[in-house]
Amino acid sequence: MHETTILLIEVGALLLGLGMLGRLSRRIGLSPIPLYLLAGLAFGHGGLLPLNASEEFFAVGAEIGVILLLVMLGLEYSATELVGNLRSAAPAGLIDGLLNALPGAAFALLMGWNWVAAVALGGITWVSSSGVIAKVLADLGRLGNRETPVILSVLVIEDLAMAFYLPLVTAVLAGTGLIGGGIALAVAVCTVVVVLVVAIRYGHVISAMFSAKDPEALLLGVLGLTLLVAGVAAGLQVSAAVGAFLVGIALSGPVAHNATELLSPLRDLFAAVFFVFFGLATNPADMPPVLLPALGLAVVTMATKVVTGYLAARRVGIALPGRLRAGLGLMPRGEFSIVIAGLAVATPGIEPRLAPLATAYVLITVVTGPLLARVPDTAWFKTRIRRLAARRAEPVPVDVGAGR
């Protein structure tokens, strides 16, 4: 059979299967990410039915998936909002980084891995999944809750921090060492600052390049600009993902709103391909030895996320139920954790157990996180919180479920 024919059959069958998995995940109230990862494990090297003809297609699609995830993330914030959130949520962001990145790095060193793997694992355990958390908040009807802006502020700080972290970890993984990593970080900082300044002062000029009234031209223009800037950024060792994120920030107004709607289906398609490709690159046989370490790491870092959300919510005067909802809502890891692990896996000589550990870790947090986020809505939990608050002489909201 012709290779192109096999490619079409493999890609078509897998995409059809992903569609069914996505529908199943929404019916059971879970994120589709773990199912996509499992699908990749099933059809990757060492899986049930390895896909060979379409591997290159999924490799390119995965790269586009990362770029679209980041540009869509940037489209959600204007440069002004991003700077404002950075100022107001900086203390919470600092606490978040210390409580969640350090355990991952320390865990890698305890496992006997080198400092490069420790830097990568620290990033994997640090960043929560914006996509999963946003969906959980919407599903649970908490978008209007008092603690929700706190959760979103922490996520924004993490997203912005990735603009600095990704170039650094890319340089470190490439073997350029601390000096090269420092240079990459300096370049990234200068690039982000310049883009933010340009976006604040001249964002309307950049947006004027596109017409919000012409969907076809808008889709092609924004997608083309994103891929172009991402490629240039990768050439400058700043990271393609960061370049895409900065393009999203630079666009504003109706152009950003319409571009979000047009790019959403493409984002969903290629993001699914990205998660599948990561699973394809991971041998399922490598996972059993790292399941217990991944579970232990997940327990520790999910607990530190609860502490992060609790402290951030307490800082702005939110009552005890809202603090706990904020902490429990931040637990899932997802997109960025897999992005970081993907960068590490593509690096020759990196710790081979990192990829299976990251896969197991993300699976654990992305499945248990949304389930645990529902706990504050249960009757027994509300009763327990009332009793605890009464003992501490802390005022309890009348509507415990809404945190008001």
Q: What one-letter code names the amino acid at 25? A: S
Contact between residue 128 and residue 330 where contact means Cβ atoms under 8 Å apart: yes
**Of 335, 311, 373, which is closest to residue 123 (Cα–Cα)?**
335
| 10-residue mean pLDDT series, the chain (404 residues) | 76 86 80 79 70 72 80 73 66 86 93 87 89 74 81 79 75 65 70 72 78 87 88 72 78 84 86 78 80 94 94 87 90 82 75 85 86 85 78 56 47
CA distance to 170, 189, 356, per residue, from 294 (Å)? 23, 33, 9
CATH T-level assignment (fold) for domain 56-391: Na+/H+ antiporter like fold (1.20.1530)
CB atoms within 10 A of CB 162: 24
Separation CA 233–CA 262 (nearest Å) = 24
Q: What is the pTM of this model?
A: 0.71
Phi and psi of 350, rounded to 5°?
-70, 160
3-state secondary structure of 252: coil
**Of 286, 272, 267, which is closest to residue 358 (Cα–Cα)?**
286
Separation CA 18–CA 60 (nearest Å) = 18
Instruction: Please tell me the predicted confidence (pLDDT) of residue 81.
Output: 66
Instruction: Please tell me the predicted confidence (pLDDT) of residue 5.
Output: 83
The DSSP letter of residue 284 is G
Instruction: Please tell me the predicted confidence (pLDDT) of residue 400.
Output: 47
Contact between residue 52 and residue 310 where contact means Cβ atoms under 8 Å apart: no
Separation CA 149–CA 143 (nearest Å) = 9
Instruction: Please tell me the predicted confidence (pLDDT) of residue 307.
Output: 94
Helix (H) or strand (E) holding 322: helix 320-329
Distance of CA 55 to the CA centre of its chain: 24
Separation CA 92–CA 95 (nearest Å) = 5
Contact between residue 290 and residue 357 where contact means Cβ atoms under 8 Å apart: yes
Helix (H) or strand (E) holding 311: helix 288-315
Pair of tokens at residue 79:
């440069």
CB atoms within 10 A of CB 38: 18
Pair of tokens at residue 275:
């998660």
